[in-house]
Amino acid sequence: MARRLKLQFIAVTCDEDFFRPVRKGMMDAAALMEVEAVFTGTKGVDAEEMAELARRGMADGVDGLALVAFDGAAFAPVVAEAHARGVPVVAFNIDQGKGSAGTLSGIAQDFSAAGRTLGRHAAASIASGSRVLLTLHDAGISALEERRDGIKAALAGHGIAWIETVTGHQVEEAARRILAVLAREPGISTILATGQADTEGAGLAAERVGRTLYVAGFDMSPAILRLIEAGQLAFTIDQQPYAQGFYPVIQLVLNLRYGLMPASLDAGAAIVDRGNASRIRALSEAGYR
């Protein structure tokens, strides 16, 4: 009997709610393809620790790797090592530089296009000349920067005064930091977030601050859906993380079994607002959204 293939996913901030549907997608695809898959990662954004996890996995006999490739230059050496050993590597969630790490494919959102989607969808609700707080949960992550730049490009004609802050990737800390900025900058009327922790934190800050704010952002969690239904968040952009777990397994197995080359896919930019939040909530509770 042939040995079951073993795949390893390696993520950043792997305890975040965001990765729950990624894990489900991975496990569903692994069951379908009859392989073993494990989900690992770092608590923060640590390229060196992720590379060490990849090397440890290869030493333990992992057949294929899926990596959040947020820094192409940092991951290029370990990806090259893997390919030299016959271990294919694909990117999921972030594919910085669209393959600059040497990964065979990337299953990730087109972050710049998604940022423009958010900006265009929010434009009618943001008055010309507004002071807008734009948040990132971590500095130096290309995906967040591309979303930020896309948002700004879509709103370029609005004469906006932009204020940027880094919130950290813990939700309560994000809410506290956002509230501190709002206290210093009482003229802010809008918060546009670029990731899950700061979107949720922005919604909580809007709930607590005692004045009306227009808030929109990215990604999903049970709290984000609650805040949308409560009217504290206008909408969020879902990057469909279930697909980011499902398709890398399929691509790695097809490559390992049949030599089929992986192909990059845009995970999408689906708008979730009060009109569809209740349906999405059911899918989220089931682990798909």
Residue 281 lies in a domain: no
The structural domain count of the chain equals: 2
CA angle 236, 286, 251 (to 5 degrees): 80
d(CA 262, CA 7): 15
pTM of the model: 0.85
pLDDT band at residue 2 using 50, 70 and 90 as cut-offs: low
Q: Are residues 166 and 257 in the same domain?
A: no
Residue 22 lies in a domain: yes
pLDDT band at residue 65 using 50, 70 and 90 as cut-offs: very high
Q: What is the mean pLDDT of residues 252-270?
A: 96
Q: Above pLDDT 70, what percent of the chain? A: 99
Q: Are residues 11 and 22 in the same domain?
A: yes
Q: Are residues 33 and 66 in the same domain?
A: yes
Residue 189 lies in a domain: yes
Closest listed residue to residue 163, CA positions, set 141, 143, 183, 142: 183
User: Domain containing 56 — which CATH number?
Assistant: 3.40.50.2300
Q: pLDDT digit string (tens) for 201-235? A: 999 999 999 899 999 999 988 899 999 999 999 99
